[in-house]
């Protein structure tokens, strides 16, 4: 069965100068910005209809300023419960970027190197092929080029297995392509990245996210567990498509837990108020409120593409995209950052 997200969690939109290689664009005037925002709002509303999305929220960040913040639609399909800017969503696989940021912090602290072999730090790490096990670098954990089939061993979480079991099961996933030769989306390797973080900090992935990211960025409404999501006063409902029908699932749906077992790959709960702070951190290359949380060197490393997923023909633009076709996620954040005249849209 193929799951399809019917609720786009959050459209996070930010404006800032284009990549250095393209040169600094002319500043955007207030009048130009107003036109951009008006056009975007029309696009957002049309997209909701095209995707049959019950609701979403949008925030736009320019440098250190939030220049736009708006909620659209409803939290529950066919109910009159409007989404607000404080509504909590499961942000899905956008959580992976948070895990990568923690690894970057370890690199800043010289506890790891991106090019270090994983087994140098985690001797029990094992892939199907012994050679791949030896050659697998820390950056490979997050580069989606392992050689495994997409979403390898993901179904184990639906059967009740925990993170340790899933990490161990990776060694039994037979490759379908050569190592580092093709893009294939994985969740499991982010559990290995989390184990690496936990080993070098002596704290859980959840504790690291809270202390190193949520608290410094002031993301006070964000969390990483099922109870916090269910107990929040302002949350979205979960939806699933059966044929041409959209079904609202209950908040105690028995398979809801799997997102949090896979927490380092997709288990953060947040709203656009908090995620705007995360965007400021990204836009300002690791600096927040004047304080560097990650060095520019390692922010650039994270922002540099590692694996070709697809090629586009047409106008010369830079497109950075977090994309995945996920079989089990019910809600996720989906977006595209496209550089055009100094504007990045996500």
d(Cα 341, Cα 337) in Å, to the nearest integer?
13
More confident residue, 326 or 287: 287
More confident residue, 96 or 312: 96
Predicted pLDDT at 63: 87
Phi and psi angles of residue 216, each rounded to the nearest 5 degrees, phi first:
-60, -35
d(Cα 151, Cα 176) in Å, to the nearest integer?
12
How confident is the model over 294-307, as a mean pLDDT? 94
d(Cα 221, Cα 77) in Å, to the nearest integer?
24
Predicted pLDDT at 300: 96
Residue pLDDT, tens place only, 209-264: 999 999 999 999 999 999 999 999 999 998 888 888 898 988 888 888 899 999 99
Give the contacts of 217 (CB within 8 A, at least 6 positions apart): 274, 277, 278, 280, 281, 288
Say whether 142 sits in a helix, a strand or coil: helix
Give the contacts of 259 (CB within 8 A, at least 6 positions apart): 90, 92, 226, 266, 267, 329
Residues, the chain, total? 346
Burial (CB count <10 Å: 0-12, 13-18, 19+), residue 42: exposed
Burial (CB count <10 Å: 0-12, 13-18, 19+), residue 4: middle
**Given pLDDT bands bounded at 50, 70 and 90, which one contains residue 29?**
confident
Say whether 211 sits in a helix, a strand or coil: helix
Residue pLDDT, tens place only, 37-79: 999 999 999 999 898 899 999 999 988 999 999 999 999 999 9
């Amino acid at each position: 069965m193929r799951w399809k997200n019917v609720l786009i969690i959050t459209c996070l939109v930010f404006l800032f100068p284009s990549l250095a290689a393209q040169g600094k664009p002319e500043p955007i005037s207030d009048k130009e910005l107003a036109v951009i925002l008006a056009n975007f709002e029309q696009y957002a509303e049309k997209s909701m209809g095209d995707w049959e999305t019950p609701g979403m929220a949008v925030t736009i960040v320019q440098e250190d300023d939030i220049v736009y913040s708006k909620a659209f639609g409803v939290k529950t399909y066919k109910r009159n419960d409007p989404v607000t800017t404080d509504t909590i969503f499961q942000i899905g696989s956008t959580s992976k970027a948070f895990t990568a940021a923690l690894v970057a912090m370890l690199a800043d602290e010289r506890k790891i190197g991106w090019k270090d072999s994983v087994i140098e730090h985690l001797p029990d790490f094992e892939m199907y092929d012994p050679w791949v096990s030896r050659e697998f670098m820390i950056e490979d954990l997050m580069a989606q080029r392992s050689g495994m089939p997409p979403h390898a061993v993901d179904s184990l979480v639906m059967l009740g297995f925990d993170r340790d079991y899933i990490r161990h099961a990776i060694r039994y996933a037979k490759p379908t392509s050569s190592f580092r030769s093709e893009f294939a989306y994985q969740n499991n390797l982010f559990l290995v990245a989390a184990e690496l973080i936990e080993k070098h900090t002596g704290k859980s992935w959840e504790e690291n996210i809270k202390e190193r990211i949520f608290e410094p960025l002031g993301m006070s409404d964000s969390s990483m567990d099922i109870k916090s999501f269910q107990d929040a006063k302002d949350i979205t409902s979960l939806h699933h498509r059966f044929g041409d029908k959209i079904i609202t699932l209950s908040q105690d749906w028995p398979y809801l837990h799997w997102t949090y077992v896979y927490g380092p790959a997709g288990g953060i709960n947040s709203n656009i108020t908090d995620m705007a702070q995360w965007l400021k951190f990204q836009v300002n290359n690791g600096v927040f409120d004047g304080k560097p949380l990650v060095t520019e060197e390692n922010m650039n490393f994270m922002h540099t593409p590692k694996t070709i997923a697809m090629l586009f023909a047409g106008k010369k633009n830079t497109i950075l995209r977090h994309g995945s076709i996920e079989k089990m996620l019910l809600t996720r954040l989906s977006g595209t950052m496209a550089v055009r005249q100094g504007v990045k849209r996500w």
